[in-house]
Chains A and B, each alone.
Chain A
Amino acid sequence: QKEVEQNSGPLSVPEGAIASLNCTYSDRVSQSFFWYRQYSGKSPELIMSIYSNGDKEDGRFTAQLNKASQYVSLLIRDSQPSDSATYLCAAFFYNQGGKLIFGQGTELSVKP
């Protein structure tokens, strides 16, 4: 089992729809989770951090964390073509001395 797994893409949604990106992690001790957005040919950009169970909202983005199910998700409301990118989920692994481990990424395409 991979330490951080994301649903395979690419994910395609129409403009204005809700995009749902999912991620599971293997380490029950992990407490810190992050979503990064990476445009083609660019470096990852931190867009959301979440540390507690429940939802965290920032503009059109909502991160959801369920530690019992070891599951993290990112919802993007009113998706725009400019949201088209690869979204990377990352978990901080305390039991490995503190490493940020990334999933393989999910490519999102928002069609006008």
Chain B
Amino acid sequence: DAGVTQSPTHLIKTRGQQVTLRCSPKSGHDTVSWYQQALGQGPQFIFQYYEEEERQRGNFPDRFSGHQFPNYSSELNVNALLLGDSALYLCASSLQGYSYEQYFGPGTRLTVT
């Protein structure tokens, strides 16, 4: 049973650049949620995708955008990177309408210099 996968594992970018992170959900899941986790903090909800649409959004600026593909995989895009965007970016998958359990991928560590 394939779990949630994310790529890349680590990424170093320069302030002002753009970045794309990728996520494939657990087999059988159709919903992908993205979180940002700063050091020493709990994950902060960015947004959730279901049926290729953004369904919910947290308190993040429009520089954060996403996409879901027909195979349920998803991308997170961040434009005009700031130093404060340095964090662990987590993708979690779930099955809509079944339960609210979310399963996380290994994460992408983004460092902005």
Contact = CB atoms under 8 A, between A and B. Distances in A.
Interface in B65-97: 88, 90, 92
Contacts, number: 57
Contact of B42 (A32, A92, A96, A104): A104
A24 to B, nearest CB: 14
Nearest to A44: B104
A75 to B, nearest CB: 20
Contacts of A99: 45, 48, 56, 58
Given A99-B56, A99-B58, A43 B104 contact: yes
Given A99-B58, A100-B33, A88 B42 contact: yes
B101 interface: yes
A46 B55 CA distance: 23
Given A36-B104, A102-B42, 14 more contacts: A32-B99, A32-B100, A34-B100, A34-B101, A43-B107, A46-B101, A46-B102, A46-B103, A88-B42, A98-B55, A98-B100, A99-B58, A102-B44, A105-B40
Interface of A: 4, 32, 34, 36, 42-46, 49, 88, 90, 92, 96-105
Interface of B: 33, 35, 40-45, 48, 55-56, 58, 88, 90, 92, 99-107
